Amino acid sequence: MAAPDFSQLPWIVPYQDILAIAGTDCVELLEVTNCYGGAAWARYHYTQTSPLIISSRTVGSTTRYLLRVGTSNLKLRPSVSAGGIESVELSDDTVKVTYAGLGGGGVGATMCRALARDVIDYDLTPAGGSKMSRGTLTLPKRSRVIVGVDDTDTKDEGATWALVNNIAAMVDNNTLRYVSHAIVQLYPVKAKTKNCVATVVEFASLNANKPIKKFQELLEGYTLSDQTGMAVLNSFGAKSLLSYGDAARSGEVSRSAAMEAADAAGVEVRLQGRGIIGAIAAIPFFSQCDQSVKLDHILRSETV
């Protein structure tokens, strides 16, 4: 369905993007907003109202909802629980999410979200004023691809965090969407450039089996180091790597330990320089941008 023309409605604030990353019986919904105030209102009310929401958090301009698949009967109340997520449906290729809201919250639940990139189709009821409104979005069913990188610079020049961000932006397309970047502080071993950090980027993919060939080619072309490490995990979550990641953040670990952890978790090692130790360690901290930079904080509770 073509997007409706809301250009004459000055109270419509379209979402930039809504992405659905699917697991076996859950979905992580990523909503990228053009108005943080509206997104903050929605996150508060939705988490008060929706039994399907397992957890929610904000990363930059993105609200990330971890959702159960199913349907719930929302009890909407003005001012305190005025909107929510009513149902989440999985099929082979799509995810359908139904939102509901009262008043202005109903505008956000319907027209504002219908205009987001990645929306395939929508079914909306009238919204605005004092009405209760409902909107169902049909989204492509995406999977998660996580890429860890370390050791691309030298003592004289370079910055891994920036290079990886720029390469991720270069390969971003409708099939492989670049959704998050995190700098992961590692234990400061002797074989470091300066700060001893690795970088992890996350993609929402329409083809989990398609290798990130272009990313690797660009990384090999731009790296300044002959010790670059690159590791890829195609998985909804990365908890199986958390104990290894914790070890690399609290002390020095060996290459053999890194390779053992990678093999056990199903990580694909793409570049095998010394940086592979940090590249693998960074993976379980994807999208945990504020926590992963802290050396004195071992992240556990919010890792998917």
Which residue type does 52 have? L
Q: How many domains does the chain have?
A: 2
What are the structure tokens assigned to 233, written together? 């995990």
Are residues 131 and 33 part of one domain? yes
11: in domain: no
Residues in Cβ contact with 171 at an 8 Å cutoff, skipping those fewer than 6 apart: 178, 212, 214, 215, 218
Q: Convert the pLDDT of each residue in 210-250 to its tens digit.
A: 779 999 999 999 999 999 999 999 999 999 999 999 999 99
285: in domain: yes
Structural contact between residues 265 and 226, judged by C-beta atoms closer than 8 angstroms: no
pLDDT in the model for residue 294 = 83
Residue that is written with structure tokens 């690795």 in the block: 198
Are residues 215 and 275 part of one domain? yes
CATH of the domain at 233: 3.30.70.2200
Q: Kindly calculate the radius of gyration of the chain based on its CA atoms and give it in whole angstroms.
A: 21
Structural contact between residues 65 and 95, judged by C-beta atoms closer than 8 angstroms: no
What are the structure tokens assigned to 113, written together? 């979200």
Are residues 64 and 182 part of one domain? no
Are residues 52 and 124 part of one domain? yes
Confidence of residue 301 (pLDDT cuts 50, 70, 90): very low
Q: Are strands 229-234 and 268-272 parallel, antiparallel or unpaired?
A: antiparallel
Are residues 185 and 255 part of one domain? yes
Q: Convert the pLDDT of each residue in 185-204 to its tens digit.
A: 998 876 655 658 999 999 99
pLDDT in the model for residue 145 = 97
Residue where a domain stops, chosen among 141, 163, 197: 141
Q: How confident is the model over 274-294, as a mean pLDDT? A: 94
**Cα distance between residue 133 and residue 123, in whole Å:** 11
Confidence of residue 181 (pLDDT cuts 50, 70, 90): very high
In terms of residue numbers, what domain contains 224? 151-292
Q: Convert the pLDDT of each residue in 65-120 to its tens digit.
A: 999 999 999 999 998 899 999 999 999 999 999 999 998 888 888 999 999 999 99
Q: What is the pTM of this model?
A: 0.92
Which residue type does 147 have? V
6: in domain: no
CA-nearest of 84, 74, 75 to 105 is 84
